[in-house]
Amino acid sequence: MNWKTYITICSVLLMMACQELPNYLAGDTTLARAGRKVLRLRDVESVVPRGVTGDDSVALLEVYVDRWVRKQLKLQEAEVLFSSSEEDIARMVEEYRQALLIRKLEQHYVDTGIDTTFTAQEIADYYNAHKADFRLDLPVVKGRIVRFDEEYRQARRLKELMGSSSATDQRDFDDICFKNEFTVNDFREHWVDFNEFLSYLPAVRSQNYNSMLSSTAVQEMRDDRSHYYLKIDAVRREGETVPLERLESTIRRILFNQRQGEVIRRHEEELYTRSVENGEAKIYGREKPAGPEPHDD
């Protein structure tokens, strides 16, 4: 009987096992052996999902059995080659087990004892106390860009409206852009990297546009098909402090990590104090020996 026929029979037995295969057959069917290890049908009952039959079930079993044999052979060779290292391996495994348990315990402390709410004031306080740690590598800006066809006849009027501080003029600007379906990229409410701002313009990568940062007036650019107006309302240059708005999520993570550490330390101290007080833990040699009573000369 060849391997594939044997696996097919075993897969049939496996499916039968899911249907209350008799005990005398279910646990004793041997699929493979590798050195001292034996793989039986009962060991792989979960390998073939319910509903998988025929060639698919055979393929799954073939792959699993082949991998199992290879793994066992490698493990047995490793045991022979590194038998002198058994104690070191056992120690490392135990250290890893302990580390996992402690990590799980600390996560339990955090999950049950941490407050994940951070007020705007807490975030601002941290930001103000650590401004020196947050410096920009590149300029960031707030501003707006409008793109329109070169043939648009009211370009001058559009420019005047864009540069105006009047709320009425700004509404007129928005209405014109909407009616004419001009493309508007509005970054007035949040900071963006200057390079990102430039990506919406016909800017040449090799050219330096930092001179634009010195003006809050409406500036112009053109390409073969379109005309662009841009207005930079606010600038933070390289080396200046990163705006708070760009750091809120980062500061939340920092505050969370701090609070997490505090929760873990508090529970650790409570556990230590309680265990010492009830006699479950003791460090010998910590008590000061009683010396002779002082006396007057």
State residue 289's pLDDT score: 53
Spatial neighbors of 150 by CB under 8 A, at least 6 apart, are 222, 225, 226, 227
Q: Which residues contact 123 (CB under 8 A, 6 or more apart)?
A: 244, 248, 251, 252, 255
Confidence band of 25 (pLDDT split at 50, 70, 90):
very low
Quote the pLDDT of residue 177: 96
* pLDDT single digits (tens) 123-139: 999 999 999 999 999 99
In this prediction, residue 190 has a pLDDT band, given cuts at 50, 70 and 90, of: very high
19 pLDDT tier (thresholds 50, 70, 90) = very low
Q: Tokens 């496996």 identify what position?
A: 14
Nearest to 145 by CA among 110, 82, 197: 197
d(CA 102, CA 33): 38
Nearest-10 crossing angle of helices 3-17, 54-81:
100
**Per-residue model confidence (pLDDT) at position 266:** 93
Task: Output the DSSP codes for 181-218.
Answer: T-EEEEEEEEEEEHHHHHTTTT--TTS--GGGGG--SE
* Rounded distance between C-alpha atoms, residue 183 and residue 152, angstroms: 13
Domains of the chain: 3-81 (no CATH), 84-134+247-278 (no CATH), 135-236 (3.10.50)
Closest CA to 147 of 219, 218, 227, 217: 227
The answer to whether the predicted template modeling score (pTM) of the entire model surpasses 0.75 is: no
The mean per-residue pLDDT over the stretch 193-220 comes to 94
Q: What is the mean pLDDT of residues 106-117?
A: 92
Residue 17 has pLDDT above 60, yes or no: no
